[in-house]
Structure 1
Amino acid sequence: MFQPVLDPLGGSLGWSSLVAALPLVVFFVLLGVLRVQAWISALSALAASIVVAVAAYGMPVGQSLNSAVLGALFGLFPIMWIVVNALWVYQMTVDTGHFEVLRRSFGRLSDDQRLQAVIVAFCFGALLEALAGFGAPVAISSVMLIALGFKPFKAATVALVANTAPVAFGAMGTPVITLAELTGLPLEDVSSTVGRQTPLLAAVVPVLLVFLVDGKRGVRQTWWPALACGLSFAVAQFVTSNYLSVELTDVVAALVSVGVLVLVMRMTTIPSVTAEDASDAADASGREAGGAPGGTGASGDGSGTGTATEVRDGRRAAVNAYLPYAVIIAVFAVSQIPAVKAVLEKGAVLFDWPGLHVADPVTGKPAASTVFNFNWLPATGTMLLLSGVLTALLLAVPPGVAARSYGKTLRQLRWAILTVAAVLALAYVMNLSGQTSTIGHFIAGAGAALAFLSPVLGWLGVAVTGSDTSSNALFGILQVTAAKNSGYAPELLAAANSSGGVLGKMLSPQNLAIAAAATGLGGREAELLRKVVGWSLALLLLMCVLVFLQSTSVLGWMLLS
């Protein structure tokens, strides 16, 4: 049994943290500074993490390599299993023409690209996050934006930034539920506290999306619909997470916000965007990567007037276009029925990973992440696969077309699959060797500044693993322990881990790879990283200030029931 030591370098937690952070430095320097492709950056960082694990932490070579294998497998299942099947459903709708109908339907809600970004990336993306998570919202909403006329780079950027506020309650509340289970805190307390932090993000993100699309003018002209959408999402998220259902938090919030947005749009006169305006916006906001000017027209030509030829779809065509997503909602709703859930859980196989014997550096008990849960039947990816099969049957999609769509999806995601597998291998080596715990304990020793820095720990966890669930599993117990030792409410810092984590989502190599693959920008992950890193840090600072104030008498009232 290998038990990591938190301060292997001369008993110094500070120096040990610097060494433990080297793999992350390697990754982000290669990706963000030297513009090396994501899969190469991830593999290089993985190699660095193995060297640090063996040389600094004394982890046996065999166990470090075995950790990487387990991490890579976790990247393939369940994470890429979810993404592949989610994109397959989308690809089928494209290949059969149903997606064009859906695109026109969204376009008829508004031909203003600024509000289309809010409708698709924020509202619809939140619904996808609620149902699937793990990259599916970024993948699907980004390609929908391209179909509405967005340039690929802008579509990917908007989708990445939008995938924030819903993440803590994504995949039917999995991150929050995991956090409560591992920390031993009551689920209702954890959910309630997270539901009093992330709504602040929900209130501002739609306005930020408008700014990303059309700069200051976009905010000036469309701030009220965008703000109304964000505020309604925030209120619905707060009410549902505190008083109704953890699992349905994002479902309710997404549906409420899109309803309010449509209502406000119909009551508000929004100035149209002319071709000249679009040109001015492109000049003001700079040119997109690759030299293409950023536009605001829904048709992609800067006109802002939607498609050139108006096509009217019949009621049956519209129903068929929305059918795949109705099927997904129905399948996931049925899967949550207790009797059905009990049957599905029989298809889960839980076992200790062979040859991997690692103890927790603090408790000395076997590390939880050495157990692999092959839950092939109840997995989110399997539910999406079932949704795809049902969609193909209901839409009478020929088996050959469905199979070709699946093959096309795999080819499109091949580099993303490699990147995600490498990143999760990196995360597992860092976790099981003790590198992540060293960094976490160093931050946890911040004393009075702990409340301010606690969201940073969650942010770091998601930036590395790409998953708020994984970040909560990594640092949840550490946050609670540090809170008790420092006199803070354990629910506050546990929730801060999840709330801060959602802001690392847009930076995670996993999400960057998925966004790049979905929009045809493979190899340009570094450009996407540079585009979103500033927004991630700015929103993180906002969350840090909020959590700090909630730990004091200034905003402590927000945590009272």
Structure 2
Amino acid sequence: MTFVQDVTAVGGNLGLTALVAVIPILYFFWALAIKRMKGYIAGLTTLLIALILAVAAFGMPAQLAVMSATHGAVYGIIPIGWIIISSVFLYKLTVKTGQFDIIRNSIISITEDRRLQALLVAFSFGAFLEGAAGFGAPVAISAALLVGLGFNPLYAAGLCLIANTAPVAFGAIGAPILALEGPTGIPAIEISKMVGRQLPFLSIFIPFYLIVIMAGFKKALEVMPAILVTGITFSLTQFLSSNYLGPELPDILSALVSILVLGIFLKFWKPKTIFRFSAEKELASTLAVNEPDEDQPHTDKQILKAWSPFFILTAIISIWGIPVVKQALTGHYEGSNLFLTGLNSIGQVFTFIPNVPLLNNKVINVAGDAVPAFYKLEFLGAAGTAVLIAAIITKFIFQISWKDWLLTFAETLSELKFPIITIASVVGYAYVTNASGMSTAMGMILAKTGVLFPFFSPILGWLGVFITGSDTSSNLLFGNMQQVTANSIGMDPVLAVSANSSGGVTGKMISPQSIAVACAAVGLAGKESDLFRFTIKHSIFLVILIGIMTFLQNGVLSWMIP
């Protein structure tokens, strides 16, 4: 039994078909923003609606629709859910052992100002984790750190989601950009150059925007020197590395440079007033962090020990992200290096890529190609496994008993059961949307906006990231469509394809997966609707900015196109 996607399935009309396809999205917006449903209920009911529409409106056989949902659900658990579980677990180990008190104190020793802490942790450190790991690790870890510092959990999660906008396009060692080269045939370096001539403007703006959201315009002006140091160093490094080195390193280099320069700058400059939240003393951390004794400064050795899990995490994730190492960890290495060959043998044992029963090559897309479908279970190569290894090493550094280590892991699993259900259901929805042709219909209707397409091009990427939760997936979903549409209206295809990725970064903060990850990290499971309401207006505002920029680059600023 095969299923041929039909973008005019409803009444033979593309417009009506796209209108029906958008129903699950509208429902999800309503469920979270207005009805304020718990995240897992909103996710499961959205998946159910998508399944019904896929069968009743798009003519997809029920068994194919259900299997496409399982395809997505498995991906929602491995690797996405696994990253959240291992990241929160690592954080909880530092809390349980009292080491987070020292981490908190070390950050306060740089600055007690909450605005500057947000720049260091949410923006710069989060960008580094995005560049090294991607998926949910940056938000999960940086948001948990902010909560431990005394930030309101909702604000910590929201600020980290918004801060994560700047680095997403170059996340996971450039995966979103590298993914575009295949379906479009455009060299990754050319796309990297164009994205590197769009996002640096956002990277300058985001630090200021973050502090305005957090403390207001006047309070943001008080720390404008630090904001400028952070934004300019990050954006300049992002531009240079993306245009002259390629898509793999912009996030990591930009984050390191901004952290280093801001840290040095804060040794010589302090704000006139120290900003703290008005109700800060009354806030009880969801993750139960004790107040450190600031009267007894910690030694460098103690600080190094407390931070060591995150240093180890950074090193291991960076190694995991090296292409040849990644190939070996997943059993796909074909070189002659003896160490990597040995690692490849181990990777093969822990890698399972079975076909999705009843679904593999049974869906024929609009181009007439059979779509392969397989469960990608790369246990050793998953970023979550890298985090778990850091947690195992941490057990010995902190001298935790195996009993306490395992109990902490069990607590983490118990706390995250509903967020994992949320993630599995919304990724399942994304896969149903893709397999049934819903996402293609929505993309094609946006592609018919003609001369206004340069403005809507980033919105297509924004929609793709909202649906899939991934800039990489959005690029794979809509990259070729962007290229074809651009050629048909006389727009430079490099600009259109790049705009898909640049616009997509603004959808990350409202993606159901990202919302669930952030809430899980700060102990707000069930409060996804509150976080969604916090981020949605910022997401829309930022994607409009990218749309205007792309429209101008297609016209008066065309000299910016490489």
TM-score (norm 1): 0.91
Answer whether contact 2:71 2:374 (CA < 8 A) is retained: no
1:297 positional shift: 11
Equivalent in the alignment of 1:233: 234
**Farther-moved stretch of structure 1 (373-382 vs 234-243):** 373-382
In 2, Cα distance between equivalents of 1:469 and 1:5: 24
Which letter does structure 2 place at the counterpart of 1:314?
T
Equivalent in the alignment of 1:255: 256
In 2, Cα distance between equivalents of 1:195 and 1:377: 32
Which letter does structure 2 place at the counterpart of 1:516?
C
Answer whether contact 2:114 2:275 (CA < 8 A) is retained: no
Which letter does structure 2 place at the counterpart of 1:201?
L
> Would you say 1:180 and 2:184 are equivalent positions?
no
> Would you say 1:545 and 2:530 are equivalent positions?
no
CA-to-partner distance for each residue in 1:47-103, whole Å, 9 max, x for gaps? 111111111111001111111111111101111112211222212122122222111
CA gap 1:68/1:193 in 2 versus in 1, 3 angstroms:
same
In 2, Cα distance between equivalents of 1:296 and 1:265: 25
Answer whether contact 1:113 1:296 (CA < 8 A) is retained: no
In 1, Cα distance between equivalents of 2:264 and 2:328: 41
CA gap 1:320/1:187 in 2 versus in 1, 3 angstroms:
same
Answer whether contact 2:74 2:375 (CA < 8 A) is retained: no
In 1, Cα distance between equivalents of 2:116 and 2:275: 15
Percentage of identical aligned residues: 39
1:256 positional shift: 0.5
Answer whether contact 2:113 2:275 (CA < 8 A) is retained: no
Aligned-pair Cα RMSD in Å:
2.2
Equivalent in the alignment of 1:380: 383
1:308 positional shift: 7.3
1:519 positional shift: 1.9
Task: Select which of 362, 365, 377 maps to 1:361.
Answer: 365
Which letter does structure 2 place at the counterpart of 1:29?
W
In 2, Cα distance between equivalents of 1:389 and 1:131: 20
In 2, Cα distance between equivalents of 1:486 and 1:403: 59
1:434 positional shift: 0.5
Answer whether contact 2:454 2:551 (CA < 8 A) is retained: yes
CA gap 1:40/1:67 in 2 versus in 1, 3 angstroms:
same
In 2, Cα distance between equivalents of 1:460 and 1:9: 21
1:402 positional shift: 2.1
Equivalent in the alignment of 1:28: 29
Answer whether contact 2:40 2:421 (CA < 8 A) is retained: yes
CA-to-partner distance for each residue in 1:297-353, whole Å, 9 max, x for gaps? 9999xxxxx977433111221111221222123223334556644432313444432
**Farther-moved stretch of structure 1 (434-443 vs 306-315):** 306-315
CA gap 1:238/1:320 in 2 versus in 1, 3 angstroms:
same
Equivalent in the alignment of 1:5: 6
Answer whether contact 2:32 2:533 (CA < 8 A) is retained: no
CA gap 1:548/1:41 in 2 versus in 1, 3 angstroms:
same
What are the equivalent positions in structure 2 for 1:295-334 lying under 5 Å apart? 309-334=294-319
In 1, Cα distance between equivalents of 2:275 and 2:554: 48
Which letter does structure 1 place at the counterpart of 2:126?
G
Answer whether contact 1:225 1:261 (CA < 8 A) is retained: yes
Count of paired positions: 537
In 1, Cα distance between equivalents of 2:28 and 2:80: 20
Which letter does structure 2 place at the counterpart of 1:317?
Q
Instruction: Indicate the SS of the match to 2:216.
Output: helix
Instruction: Indicate the SS of the match to 1:446.
Output: helix
CA gap 1:274/1:7 in 2 versus in 1, 3 angstroms:
closer
CA gap 1:22/1:337 in 2 versus in 1, 3 angstroms:
closer
Answer whether contact 1:126 1:254 (CA < 8 A) is retained: yes
Answer whether contact 2:102 2:292 (CA < 8 A) is retained: no
Instruction: Indicate the SS of the match to 2:376.
Output: strand
Answer whether contact 1:83 1:134 (CA < 8 A) is retained: no
1:34 positional shift: 1.0
Task: Select which of 395, 400, 425 maps to 1:397.
Answer: 400
Task: Select which of 534, 553, 556 maps to 2:558.
Answer: 556
> Would you say 1:344 and 2:329 are equivalent positions?
yes
In 1, Cα distance between equivalents of 2:293 and 2:390: 34
1:296 positional shift: 10
Q: What are the ranges of 5 or more consecutive residues in structure 2 without an aligned counterpart?
A: 286-290, 332-346
> Would you say 1:159 and 2:134 are equivalent positions?
no
Equivalent in the alignment of 1:283: none
CA-to-partner distance for each residue in 1:117-149, whole Å, 9 max, x for gaps? 111111111112122221222222122112212
Answer whether contact 1:85 1:381 (CA < 8 A) is retained: yes
What are the equivalent positions in structure 2 for 1:81-96 lying under 5 Å apart? 81-96=82-97
Which letter does structure 1 place at the counterpart of 2:233?
S
**Farther-moved stretch of structure 1 (422-431 vs 319-328):** 319-328
TM-score (norm 2): 0.91
Answer whether contact 2:5 2:437 (CA < 8 A) is retained: yes
CA gap 1:166/1:62 in 2 versus in 1, 3 angstroms:
same
What are the equivalent positions in structure 2 for 1:273-288 lying under 5 Å apart? 273=274
In 2, Cα distance between equivalents of 1:296 and 1:132: 34
Equivalent in the alignment of 2:485: 482
CA gap 1:24/1:450 in 2 versus in 1, 3 angstroms:
same
Q: What are the ranges of 5 or more consecutive residues in structure 1 without an aligned counterpart?
A: 280-292, 301-305
1:520 positional shift: 2.3
CA-to-partner distance for each residue in 1:503-539, whole Å, 9 max, x for gaps? 1111111121222222222222112111111111111
Answer whether contact 1:214 1:296 (CA < 8 A) is retained: no
In 2, Cα distance between equivalents of 1:296 and 1:117: 18
